[in-house]
Amino acid sequence: LSVGASGAIFGLAGVLTGFLVRHARSFNERQRWKARRVYAPLILVLVPPALFHADWRAHLGGYVAGVILGLLLSPGPSGRRLLGRPDTTGPARIDP
């Protein structure tokens, strides 16, 4: 079993890949362009050095797990914010 920060980074790349594959039609042309022109080359730049200088099984496992999670994710409801604005009108409070 291998784990590490680089495996987690590959997991995030996998989530992005899986999400983009499943919901490609949900994005407008500009967002699809960004995915093709920015994210894909970025992943291709990160993969070879990581495979040759570290445990490739951790990277592969993180990526595969990320793709699976990305395929399972659904986009947020259209037209609604998932998180509202933070309430910053009152005094700061720290509970012990």
Asked if 58 and 7 touch (Cβ cutoff 8 Å), the reply is yes
What are the backbone angles phi and psi of residue 36, rounded to the nearest 5°? -75, -40
User: Each residue of 7-44: pLDDT tens digit?
Assistant: 888 888 888 888 888 888 888 888 878 777 777 777 77
| Stated pTM of the model | 0.61
In a domain, residue 81? The reply is no
Domain of 37, in residue numbers: 5-72
More confident residue, 88 or 68: 68
In a domain, residue 27? The reply is yes
In a domain, residue 62? The reply is yes
User: Each residue of 38-85: pLDDT tens digit?
Assistant: 777 777 767 776 667 777 778 788 889 999 998 898 776 665 555 555
Tally of structural domains, the chain: 1
In a domain, residue 22? The reply is yes
pLDDT at 84: 58
